[in-house]
């Protein structure tokens, strides 16, 4: 199963600089619990922001793939900070990362999560790679400069969690 996972405000904002526009520990907990035991694929900038926030080069309990146009450089630079199982592993396309986790980390590849940022979300949506999306709709409008691509028409959503500050929807492709 390939799942896109994201959080956005009412205007589809997802980022401010290289950070999240909001501070929602419960949503981060949802992300952690949902992705645990799977593969998480992110862009190089999102990976750097996770590293700044957690102080670690990988999310524990998950296999971490990072997309960059220069995988060799980043793999070499990160060699000392990685984990034998979790990585991070660097690849130059979403398809290559998906193929490699299925081949090299089958135990972690049953659930694959595409976790941003914008370019990677766009590629996953345009390439029809997704089985579902888990989207946290944060209530209100925030300041920032990175937006989620448009997606509504082709997806059917249902609420899976309703909290004071946000609602989490699961979206599946609309039947043709
Ligand atoms: N709200 C959320 O759910 C959420 C989730 C994730 C991120 N964010 C936010 O989004 C922002 C970061 O997103 P972003 O869109 O600016 O950057 P990003 O997608 O995280 O990273 C962009 C980088 O990824 C690499 N890349 C992207 N597409 C690629 C492809 N098809 N093939 C190979 N490499 C590729 C390139 O790395 P190189 O330059 O190394 O070649 C590119 O510069 C931050 O503000 C972050 O907090 C929010």
Q: How far apart are CA 78 and CA 87, in angstroms?
A: 9
Q: Which two tokens stand for residue 22?
A: 């909001």
Does the Cβ of 119 fall within 6 Å of ligand 1?
yes
The domain made up of 2-173 has a fold known as: Dihydrofolate Reductase, subunit A (3.40.430)
44 lines ligand 1 (CB under 6 A): yes
Q: Is the CB of 18 under 6 A from ligand 1?
A: yes
Does residue 115's CB lie within 6 angstroms of at least one atom of ligand 1?
yes
Peptide bond before residue 12 is cis, with ω within 30 degrees of 0: no
Q: Report which of 123, 125, 109 is spatially closest to residue 35, judged by C-alpha positions.
A: 109
20, 93 contact by CB (below 8 A):
no
Q: Going by CA atoms, what residue is nearest to atom 9 of ligand 1?
A: 15
The list of the chain residues with pLDDT below 50 reads: none
The verdict on the CB of residue 146 being under 6 Å from ligand 1 is yes
76-122: pLDDT as tens digits: 999 899 999 999 999 999 999 999 999 999 999 999 999 999 999 99
**Residue recorded with tokens 């199982």:** 85
Answer yes or no: are the C-beta atoms of 67 and 173 closer than 8 Å. no
Residue nearest to atom 25 of ligand 1 (CA): 68
Residue 153: predicted pLDDT: 78
62 lines ligand 1 (CB under 6 A): no
176 C-alpha vs ligand 1 centroid, how far in Å? Answer: 31
Question: Angle 118-126/94-104 helices, nearest 10 degrees?
Answer: 80
Which pLDDT score, from 0 to 100, does residue 85 have?
Answer: 95
123 close to ligand 1 (CB < 6 Angstrom): yes
pLDDT attached to residue 114? 98
43 ligand 1 Cβ < 6 A: yes
What are the domain boundaries of the chain? 2-173
Q: Are 170 and 157 in contact (CB under 8 A)?
A: yes
pLDDT attached to residue 151: 83
pLDDT at 152: 72
pLDDT given at position 72:
97
39 and 109 in contact (C-beta within 8 Å)? yes
Residue 38 in tokens: 């799977």
CB 5 within 8 A of CB 121: no
Q: Identify which of 167, 121, 174, 175 has the alpha carbon closest to the alpha carbon of residue 148.
A: 121
Task: Ligand 1, residue 19: give the atom nearest the CA.
Answer: 47
pLDDT value, residue 176 = 79
């Amino acid at each position: 199963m390939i799942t896109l996972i994201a959080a956005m405000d009412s205007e589809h904002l997802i980022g401010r600089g290289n950070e999240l526009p909001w501070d929602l520990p419960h949503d981060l907990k949802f992300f952690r619990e949902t992705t645990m035991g799977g593969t998480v694929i992110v862009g190089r900038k999102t990976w750097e922001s996770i590293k700044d926030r957690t102080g670690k080069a990988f999310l524990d309990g998950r296999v971490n793939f990072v997309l960059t146009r220069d995988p060799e450089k980043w793999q070499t630079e990160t060699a000392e900070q990685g984990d034998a199982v979790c990585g991070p592993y660097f690849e130059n396309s979403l398809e290559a990362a998906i193929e490699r986790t299925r081949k090299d980390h089958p135990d972690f590849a049953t659930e694959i999560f595409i976790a941003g940022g914008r370019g990677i979300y766009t590629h996953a949506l345009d390439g029809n790679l997704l089985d579902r999306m888990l989207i946290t709709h944060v209530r209100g409008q925030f300041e920032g400069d990175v937006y989620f691509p448009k997606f509504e028409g082709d997806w059917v959503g249902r609420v899976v969690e309703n909290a004071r500050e946000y609602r989490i929807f699961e979206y599946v492709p609309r039947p043709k």
